[in-house]
Amino acid sequence: MPSARRLRRAAAVTAVALGLAATATTGTSTATAPALDYVNLGDSFSSGSGILPLAEGSNPLCTRAADNFAHAIAADQGYALTDVSCGGAQTSNFTKSQFPGVAPQLDALSASTDLVTMTIGGNDNNTFISAVLACGSVGLLTLGHGSPCADLYGDTFADAVRTGTYANVTRALKQVKEKAPNARVAISGYPWILPASGGCFPAMPVARGDVPYLRDLQATLNDVIERAADATGATYVDQSAASEGRDACAPSGTRWIEPAFGGTNYVPVHPNALGERGMADRITATLGLG
């Protein structure tokens, strides 16, 4: 018959073994999966140019905001974000440095990248930004009357977007896929800058007759971005319905885009913090992230 000492020793060994097993089980059940590897690329609508504060550690030349849509998505979902978006970026800056000390944006991608988001194409060939500036300039000259921009430029801007911008965005998305073959890639359209008609001269110094002209040009830009996404297997995020009535002519607290004059952003005619949040929500919903 076992002695009392042997029984106590056996009991102690059993207790230790059970404790180790319990610790191992607990450690397994509470272990968390690595955070999803999320990279944000793109231009000023992606970087949140004009919103303060700037993202910590970012190059000030890129005017990258701490409250842009990528930071909102990463915070909501618990993703590990690498944000290399930069105000003024063109598709060429995916493979070429935009500023000294700023690496090509595609350098942030790898086979381990899980998710990529962006807005890109609006600055290519300076087509869209040139149209906004040109229409604003001639709108001031006519004090907001007529359609001087449409009369002067006709289809010039839209034709350049349909040809050059479409080819550039398609090529850029293919390059993203090559660098990040395992990632979901989402490219967002641009939220409405102007209403369908009317406008709000002089806050947005576009002649009344040119408001639908610029709106149609933006629709053309978003259309070529969507077609480029379809051609490359990327996901297009349509911001048009969500941003309707939230353009630069809408009241403060409603608008997503700040006007040229009288707005709050230090970079005018760009999304404010509300707009970046709204864009984040559309990207999240489109991708089914919950």
* Beta strand residue intervals within the chain, DSSP E: 37-40, 80-83, 115-118, 184-188, 235-237
Answer whether 84's CB lies under 8 Å from 103's CB: yes
**Dihedral-angle region of residue 125 (phi above 0 means left; psi in -120 to 50 means alpha; beta otherwise):** left
Q: Please give the DSSP secondary-structure letter assigned to residue 256.
A: S
Judging by beta carbons within 10 Å of its beta carbon (0-12, 13-18, 19+), is residue 92 exposed, middle or buried?
middle
Query: Residue 71 catalytic?
Result: no
**CB hemisphere CA count around 26 (13 angstroms):** 6
44, 46, 49, 58: the catalytic one is 44
Catalytic status, residue 270 = yes
Structure tokens at 19: 């404790």
Letter string b/e over residues 74-90, b meaning 16 or more CB atoms within 10 A of that residue's CB: beebebebbbbbbbbbb
CA distance 59 to 188: 23
**H-run or E-run covering 252:** none
One of 46, 49, 58, 270 is an active-site residue; which one? Answer: 270
Helices (H), 105-165: 127-141, 148-153, 156-160
| Pairing state between β 80-83 and 37-40 | parallel
Separation between Cα atoms, residue 194 and residue 254, nearest integer Å:
14
Neighbours of 38 (CB within 10 A): 22
Active site residues: 44, 270
